């Protein structure tokens, strides 16, 4: 029976999560000065992210703890970034349909999202979860590596946005990159891999990258059609 660190019991983890949400609230409140629909869209994304994070955990490893004496605490506290991303994406798209919003919001989400994800990993450091495997006699620094990925992504996305490159596609690019990074990185992480040597998170990441790539091509074709018309 695998052990399970309890991030919900870490005050640092909770603080990082609250700070990350707070940054999003401030950012989207400022954006709402020009468009009052944006806070609702952010709320939809936030709800979707929490639901997706829970579903990803339930699919990937929650069922491994059915005999654990603290299984209810594990099931309640467990969540995953790999599910938060597609869940948040779905939540945004659903809310946009509800409020009738026709604009593209992905670029603004893209330059924001690495910040709360990096903060969340800082919380993981304190909680003791999301550790790496033993590699050549030392423990792989899985959390610092992922924080590094998020900071690098933030710099690249900010640069692309500032130079007006890949407009309307930044969020798709981030999802493709993160899905591929996490799929490869997962082999070095100490997570259950019950699906033919793959973890549930790796399956989710492959689907995430594939879906984002399809969305990238679809939007590119749509933009080309609009420019030709």
Say yes or no to pLDDT of 3 above 80.
Answer: no
Say yes or no to pLDDT of 57 above 80.
Answer: yes
- The CA-to-CA distance between both ends of the chain, in Å, stands at 60
For the chain, give the mean pLDDT: 88
User: What are the two backbone dihedrals, phi and then psi, of residue 213, each rounded to the nearest 5 degrees?
Assistant: -65, -40
**Which of 7-21, 43-57, 68-82, 198-212 is predicted least confidently?**
7-21
Q: Is the CB of residue 132 less than 8 Å from the CB of residue 141?
A: yes
172-192: average pLDDT: 96
Q: For residue 222, give both structure tokens.
A: 């749509």
Per-state percent for the chain, helix, strand, coil, to nearest 5: 75, 5, 25
Residue 16: pLDDT band (50, 70, 90) is confident
pLDDT value of position 4: 55
Residue 1: pLDDT band (50, 70, 90) is very low
């Amino acid at each position: 029976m695998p052990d399970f660190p309890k991030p919900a019991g870490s005050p640092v983890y909770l603080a990082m999560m609250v700070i990350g949400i707070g940054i999003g609230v401030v950012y989207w409140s400022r954006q709402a000065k020009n468009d009052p629909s944006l806070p609702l869209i952010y709320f939809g994304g936030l709800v979707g992210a929490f639901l997706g994070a829970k579903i990803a955990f339930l699919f990937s490893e929650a069922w491994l703890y059915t005999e654990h004496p603290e299984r209810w605490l594990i099931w309640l506290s467990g969540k995953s970034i790999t599910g938060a991303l597609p869940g948040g994406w779905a939540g945004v798209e659903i809310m946009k349909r509800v409020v009738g919003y026709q604009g593209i919001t992905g670029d603004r989400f893209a330059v924001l999202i690495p910040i709360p994800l990096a903060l969340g990993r800082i919380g993981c450091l304190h909680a003791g979860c999301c550790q790496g495997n033993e590699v050549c006699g030392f423990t792989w620094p899985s959390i610092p590596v992922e924080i590094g990925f998020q900071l690098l992504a933030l710099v690249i996305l900010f640069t692309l946005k500032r130079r007006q490159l890949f407009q309307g596609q930044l969020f798709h690019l981030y999802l493709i990159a993160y899905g591929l990074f996490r799929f490869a990185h997962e082999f070095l992480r100490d997570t259950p891999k019950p699906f033919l040597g793959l973890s549930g998170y790796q399956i989710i990441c492959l689907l995430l990258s594939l879906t984002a790539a399809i969305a990238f091509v679809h939007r590119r074709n749509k933009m080309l059609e609009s420019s030709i018309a």
